[in-house]
Structure 1
Amino acid sequence: MSFKSTLFAAAAALSFAMPALAGDIMVEDAYARTSTMKSKSGAAFMVLMNHGDEDDRLVGASSDVAQRVELHTHKEDANGVMQMLKVEEGFPIPAGGMHALARGGDHVMFMGLNRQLAQGDIVTVTLSFEKAGDMTIEVPVDLERKPMHGMKMNHGNMKKN
């Protein structure tokens, strides 16, 4: 590999690791995954941070990787069974605060994948915020990440490392 192509590859990899911004909203640590290589669905996870003085809300998402993209969460039913549900109202991001989209909780759901998602692939996702508008991000596929990678527990609260 030539120096020029090595430099380009390093710059491309670094650009995916950098946080994305739209207005006062910043997205960090985004990644996508499927449960198996042949899955027809997948999900994206990330940390949404609001550096502004006004509350905002993630109200939608879109991507050409799937036939449908929705905001989802997990809730326990009366029988103790976890169910995945569409969240019509979106996810609030308080002023000066954050909202983590994490496995087992809130997430961006890809349904009817148009292609398999392989380790290292990049998925383009447009996030729509109530006030900040649209933000297009490049999300790496990470099938090897452990459920709490990048997060730590602190007295029952999830905190970003």
Structure 2
Amino acid sequence: MTLKSTLLATLTTLSLASGAWAADVIVVDDAYARSSGKSAKAGAAFMMIENHSDTDDRLIGVTSDAAGRVELHTHKIDENGVAKMVHVEEGFAIPAGDTRMLKRGGDHVMFMGLKAPFEQGAMVPVTLIFEQAGEVEIEVPVDLERKDAGGHSN
């Protein structure tokens, strides 16, 4: 084996190992996505993110081919008492051994410029990007009928 092929094999092994490590450290549960209808240009995803490590982490980004732009959002109440969605550039802290809820009416993943409608039962590929754990790829089921369930609020 040449030095080049040995280095390539080593880098591939390390890449796979770090992805497996992230999957063991960060666990995503009860994920679902929704939009307001077939003609909607935006949608959102909600989930529970568990940090099983001894190190605090932070969800700092998200990507998906399902939309032109994907961001981390939350709701803030303005001075008139009106709730508005805002982009959270710094991301969401997920302390060691803790769970962060992304739920309706609170923190969530926002899809803007949907490339195709979110249809009941479809799967949306999403990559969550963490400061410590790196990238975690998940498939989020579309559930347009879901009410209050799994710890998520309306």
Q: TM-score, normalised by structure 2?
A: 0.83
Taking the aligned partners of 1:102 and 1:77, their CA distance within structure 2 comes to: 20
Are 2:103 and 2:152, in contact at CA under 8 Å, matched by a contact in 1?
A: no
Taking the aligned partners of 2:37 and 2:74, their CA distance within structure 1 comes to: 20
1:152 to partner: Cα distance: 7.6
Residue 11 of structure 2: aligned partner = none
Residue 88 of structure 1: aligned partner = 89
- Give the gaps of 5 or more residues in structure 2: 1-21
Taking the aligned partners of 2:77 and 2:60, their CA distance within structure 1 comes to: 23
1:88 to partner: Cα distance: 0.3
Give the strand-richer structure, 1 or 2.
1
Residue 151 of structure 2: aligned partner = 151
Residue 58 of structure 2: aligned partner = 57
Structure 1 residue 79 and structure 2 residue 85: aligned? no
Structure 1 residue 97 and structure 2 residue 62: aligned? no
| Alignment root-mean-square deviation, CA | 1.3
Counterpart code for 2:116: R
Residue 31 of structure 1: aligned partner = 32
Are 1:120 and 1:142, in contact at CA under 8 Å, matched by a contact in 2?
A: yes
Counterpart code for 2:105: G
Taking the aligned partners of 1:152 and 1:60, their CA distance within structure 2 comes to: 21
SS at structure 1 position matched to 2:101: strand
Are 1:22 and 1:133, in contact at CA under 8 Å, matched by a contact in 2?
A: no
Q: C-alpha offsets along residues 101-132 of structure 1, whole Å, 9 cap, x if unaligned?
A: 00000000000000011100100000000000
- Identity between Structure 1 and Structure 2 (%): 61
Task: Describe how 1:89-128 pairs up with structure 2 within 5 A.
Answer: 89-128=90-129
Are 1:68 and 1:112, in contact at CA under 8 Å, matched by a contact in 2?
A: yes
SS at structure 2 position matched to 1:30: strand
- Give the gaps of 5 or more residues in structure 1: 1-20, 154-161
Taking the aligned partners of 2:55 and 2:138, their CA distance within structure 1 comes to: 22
Q: C-alpha offsets along residues 12-55 of structure 1, whole Å, 9 cap, x if unaligned?
A: xxxxxxxxx62411100010000122100000100000111110
Residue 135 of structure 1: aligned partner = 136
Residue 18 of structure 2: aligned partner = none
Give the helix-richer structure, 1 or 2.
2
Q: TM-score, normalised by structure 1?
A: 0.79
Give structure 1 regions of 4+ aligned residues with deviation exceeding 6 angstroms. none
Taking the aligned partners of 2:128 and 2:71, their CA distance within structure 1 comes to: 11
Are 1:23 and 1:132, in contact at CA under 8 Å, matched by a contact in 2?
A: no
